[in-house]
């Protein structure tokens, strides 16, 4: 669920995860759409599912950002004839600052 957050300018914004984590720091983030995926990002935390829309600034509680940070997938690249494994973010995102 989401809750309403009063921004400094008086505007009301919906905070993803705000109802479940009312004391958590709120951050402004964007998650770009990709060629393969334009659907909202689904994040599960403590048996609850949260949806974060893509291609727009969204207010999100910090525990959900921690889940995004931990969501990685194994990728491989050829470097000098050797196959190198590395972690790539499953959902690249950008933190724009605190709300």
Q: Specify the DSSP class assigned to residue 10.
A: S
The whole-angstrom separation of Cα 19 and Cα 72 is 26
Straight-line distance from the first to the last Cα atom of the chain, in angstroms, rounded to the nearest whole number: 18
Cα–Cα distances in angstroms (integers) from residue 89 to residues 25, 69, 71, 92, in the given order: 22, 7, 6, 6
pTM of the model: 0.78
Share of residues in the chain with pLDDT > 90 (%): 73
Q: Choose between 4 and 13: higher pLDDT.
A: 13
- Closest to 21 measured CA to CA, from 41, 48, 56, 40: 48
pLDDT at site 2: 45
pLDDT at site 16: 87
pLDDT greater than 90 at residue 86: yes
Domain boundary assignment for the chain: 2-98
- Residue labelled with tokens 């009301």: 12
pLDDT greater than 80 at residue 12: no
3-state secondary structure of 32: coil
pLDDT at site 83: 95
């Amino acid at each position: 669920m989401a809750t309403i957050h009063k921004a400094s300018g008086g505007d009301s914004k919906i905070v993803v995860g705000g109802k479940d984590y009312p004391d958590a720091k709120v951050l402004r983030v964007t998650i770009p759409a990709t060629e393969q995926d334009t659907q909202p990002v689904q994040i599960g935390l403590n048996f609850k599912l949260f949806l974060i829309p893509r291609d727009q600034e969204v207010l999100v509680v910090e525990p959900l950002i921690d889940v995004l940070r931990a969501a990685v997938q194994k990728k491989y690249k050829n470097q000098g004839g050797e196959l190198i494994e590395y972690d790539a973010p499953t959902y690249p995102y950008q933190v724009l600052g605190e709300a």
